[in-house]
Amino acid sequence: MEVKAHLSYASISPQKLRLVIDQVRGMGAEQALTVLQYMPQKGAAIVHKLVSSALANAENNFDLERGDMQIKTIFANGGPMLKRFKAGARGRYKPRKRRTSHLTVVLAEREGK
């Protein structure tokens, strides 16, 4: 049984999120939550909340045990960019890109069960 959770338009770049999700890919869901809780990055809080949501979906919608779940797939894709500008010297402007990302987590039951 697989359980999905999806977050769209997170206001963090996908590159920064990938640094966090590479640390928890393939872990058990409970262990991943513990690791994410103590990571200092902003993306860790976002991923923690999404994995918690996926666990809650597994418990409430499919009657699965929290301890039996592991992260099967987790990935971050780029979302739309907000294009802004900042004033530069001598009447010029400097473009800024506010990147957003879409994050997906898929939990599955452990194989040994």
Query: Helix 42-62 vs helix 14-24: angle between axes, to the nearest 10 degrees?
Result: 60
Domains of the chain: 2-109 (3.90.470.10)
Q: 34 phi and psi, to 5 degrees?
A: -65, -45
Residues in the chain: 113
pTM assigned to the model: 0.89
How far apart CA 67 and CA 44 sit, in angstroms, is 21
Convert the pLDDT of each residue in 50-70 to its tens digit. 999 999 999 999 999 999 999
Q: What three-state secondary structure class fits 93? A: strand
Q: Which residue has the tokens 């010297």?
A: 89
Tell me the helix, strand and coil percentages in the chain, rounded to 5. Answer: 40, 35, 20
Convert the pLDDT of each residue in 65-83 to its tens digit. 999 999 999 999 999 999 9
